[in-house]
């Protein structure tokens, strides 16, 4: 898989290291020469010194055969333009853009960026969820869906206690992924498995079921 990264800051540096470890082909396009030299020297990756919103520069960097174009500069307008060019001119399969101002996320979606990412918004959402659903946290978001894996300790007040996975009616299409007993024993899900108070449960569920899961299984 080939990934073209626009921007050469700290996020780009560690993203390159991560992708290289997975044997992906990575190319970086950065305007600041000193950052280009640092990344090229320390990470031994192809780096182009130039403007990521410039079509000839993107062509030189190999955007035409890239699977992903990731724009992570400090300017939202540059990230948006780079992604638009990548999508419309070079037919890049997936475009990902860092959104420095969370208010711009909706605009990025409307203008065709596949995955706008705002670290500010991600942190805010995490805090909001922790406050709203105390004792339940999201441990994994499933791509291209509204489903996530959540983790919680089963409340002793829950009707799920002392019932098997087959007997208990979980909200919607929610399913148990893993149960860890209070003593550390790991239990794989099966219809005959009984749930016990203070079990740590990993559950796959839809975001629309968060409230019901929290109210019926977590709330104390």
67 and 14 in a common domain: yes
pTM: 0.60
Question: Same domain for 151 and 103?
Answer: no
Would you say 193 and 164 are in contact if contact means Cβ atoms under 8 Å apart? yes
In a domain, 190, yes or no: yes
**Structural domain includes residue 126:** no
Task: Give the count of domains, the chain.
Answer: 2
Q: How many CA atoms lie within 13 A of 200 on its CB side?
A: 10
Residue 99 resides in a domain:
yes
Residue 115 shares a structural domain with residue 135: no
> Are residues 115 and 7 both part of a single domain?
yes
Question: For every one of its 220 residues, what pLDDT tens digit does the chain have, with 9 covering 90 and above?
Answer: 899 999 998 889 988 988 888 788 999 999 999 999 999 999 989 999 999 999 999 999 999 999 999 999 999 999 999 999 999 999 999 999 999 898 999 999 999 999 998 876 665 665 556 556 888 988 888 877 889 999 999 999 999 999 999 999 999 999 999 999 999 999 999 999 999 999 999 999 998 999 999 999 999 8
Please say which residue of 119, 152, 182 terminates a domain.
119
Q: Are both 26 and 89 inside the same structural domain?
A: yes
Domain contains 179: yes
């Amino acid at each position: 898989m080939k990934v073209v990264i626009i921007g050469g800051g700290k996020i780009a540096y560690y993203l390159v290291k991560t992708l290289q470890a997975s044997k992906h082909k990575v190319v970086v396009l950065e305007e600041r020469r000193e950052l280009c030299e640092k990344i090229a020297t320390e990470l031994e990756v192809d780096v182009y010194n130039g403007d990521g919103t410039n079509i000839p520069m993107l062509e030189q960097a190999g955007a035409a055969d890239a699977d992903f174009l990731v724009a992570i500069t400090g300017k939202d307008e540059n990230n948006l333009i780079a992604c638009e060019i990548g999508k419309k001119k070079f037919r890049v399969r997936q475009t990902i853009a860092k959104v420095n101002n969370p208010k711009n996320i909706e605009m990025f979606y409307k203008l065709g960026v596949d995955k706008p990412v705002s670290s500010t918004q991600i942190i805010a959402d995490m805090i909001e969820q922790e406050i709203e659903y105390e004792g339940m946290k999201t441990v994994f978001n499933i791509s291209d869906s509204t489903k996530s894996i959540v983790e919680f300790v089963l409340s002793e007040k829950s009707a799920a206690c002392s019932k098997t996975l087959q007997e208990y009616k979980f909200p919607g299409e929610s399913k148990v992924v893993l149960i860890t007993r209070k003593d550390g024993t790991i239990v794989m899900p099966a219809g005959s498995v009984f749930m016990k108070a203070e079990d740590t449960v990993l559950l796959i569920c839809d975001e629309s079921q968060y409230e019901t899961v929290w109210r019926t299984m977590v709330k104390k």
